[in-house]
Amino acid sequence: MKSQWNDDEARRALEAYGAEGVNEDIALRVYTTRLIGRDPLLVLHGGGNTSVKTRAVDDLGQEHDVIAVKGSGADMAEIEPWGLPAVKLGPLREMRGLDALSDEAMVNCQRLNLLDAAAPNPSVETLLHAFLPHKFVDHAHAAAVLSLVDQPDGVALARELYNGRMGIVPYIAPGFDLAKVAADVFDEKPDVEGLILHKHGIFTFGDTAQDAYERMIEMVSLAESRLRQGRPVVFQAGQLPGATASAAEIAPILRGACAIHRPGQEPVRFIAEYRSSPAVLDYVNGAELASYSQRGVVTPDHIIRTKNKPLEVPAPESGKLDDFAKAVEAAVETYVAEYDLYFARENEAVGGTKTKLDPMPRVVLVPGVGLFGLGRSAKDAAIAGDLAENTVRVITDAEAIGRYEPLPESDLFALEYWSLEQAKLAKQVVKPLTGQVAVVTGAGAIGTATAKALAGDGAAVAVLDIDGEAAAEAARAVKGIGIACDVTKPGDVANAFAAVCARFGGVDLLVSNAGAAWQGRIGDVPDEVLRKSFELNFFAHQTVAREAVAIMLKQGTGGALLFNISKQAVNPGQNFGPYGLPKAATMLLMRQYALDYGADGIRSNGVNADRIRSGLLTDEMIAARSEARGVTETGYM
Residues belonging to the active site: 579
Report the residue number, 201 or 505, with the smaller CB distance to Zn ion. 201
Min dist CB 121 to Zn ion, Å, is 15
Report the residue number, 175 or 201, with the smaller CB distance to Zn ion. 201
Report the residue number, 201 or 482, with the smaller CB distance to Zn ion. 201
Report the residue number, 216 or 581, with the smaller CB distance to Zn ion. 216
Report the residue number, 174 or 442, with the smaller CB distance to Zn ion. 174
Q: Enumerate residues 364-383 that contact Zn ion by CB under 5 A.
A: none
Q: Is residue 270 within 8 Å of residue 258, measured between CB atoms?
A: yes
> Rounded to whole angstroms, how far apart are CA atoms 600 and 589?
17
Min dist CB 351 to Zn ion, Å, is 27
Binding-residue pattern over the window 281 to 310 for Zn ion, x denoting contact by CB under 5 A: ------------------------------
Cα 134 to the chain's mean position, in Å? 35
* Phi, psi dihedrals of residue 85, rounded to the nearest 5°: -60, 140
Report the residue number, 35 or 470, with the smaller CB distance to Zn ion. 35
Report the residue number, 300 or 435, with the smaller CB distance to Zn ion. 300
Binding-residue pattern over the window 184 to 213 for Zn ion, x denoting contact by CB under 5 A: -----------------x------------
Report the residue number, 201 or 368, with the smaller CB distance to Zn ion. 201
Report the residue number, 308 or 543, with the smaller CB distance to Zn ion. 308
Question: Which residues, in sequence order, are CB contacts of 504 under 8 Å at separation 6+?
Answer: 271, 272, 273, 378, 381, 437, 460, 462, 481
Min dist CB 126 to Zn ion, Å, is 12
Phi-psi region of 279 (alpha: psi -120 to 50; beta: other; left: phi over 0): alpha
Q: Enumerate residues 531-550 that contact Zn ion by CB under 5 A.
A: none
> Rounded to whole angstroms, how far apart are CA atoms 580 and 383?
47
> Rounded to whole angstroms, how far apart are CA atoms 374 and 85?
32
> Rounded to whole angstroms, how far apart are CA atoms 190 and 192?
6
Q: How many other β-carbons are positioned within 10 Å of the β-carbon of residue 75?
A: 15
> Rounded to whole angstroms, how far apart are CA atoms 559 and 438?
10
Give the CA-trace dihedral at 297, 298, 300, 306, to 10 degrees: -40
C-beta nearest to Zn ion: residue: 201
Min dist CB 198 to Zn ion, Å, is 12
> Rounded to whole angstroms, how far apart are CA atoms 380 and 314?
25
Question: Which residues, in sequence order, are CB contacts of 162 under 8 Å at separation 6+?
Answer: 196, 219, 222
Min dist CB 169 to Zn ion, Å, is 11
Q: Which helix (H) or strand (E) holds 372?
A: strand 370-375
Helices assigned H by DSSP within 78-125: 89-94, 103-112
Min dist CB 425 to Zn ion, Å, is 20
As to burial, measured by CB atoms within 10 angstroms (0-12 exposed, 13-18 middle, 19+ buried), residue 226 is buried
Min dist CB 70 to Zn ion, Å, is 11
Min dist CB 212 to Zn ion, Å, is 16
Helices assigned H by DSSP within 467-614: 468-476, 490-504, 527-534, 540-555, 577-597
> Rounded to whole angstroms, how far apart are CA atoms 377 and 373?
11
Q: How many residues interact with Zn ion (rule CB under 5 A)?
A: 1
> Rounded to whole angstroms, how far apart are CA atoms 49 and 29?
11
> Rounded to whole angstroms, how far apart are CA atoms 460 and 255?
14
> Rounded to whole angstroms, how far apart are CA atoms 572 and 16?
64
Min dist CB 353 to Zn ion, Å, is 24
Task: Give the binding site for Zn ion (CB under 5 A).
Answer: 201
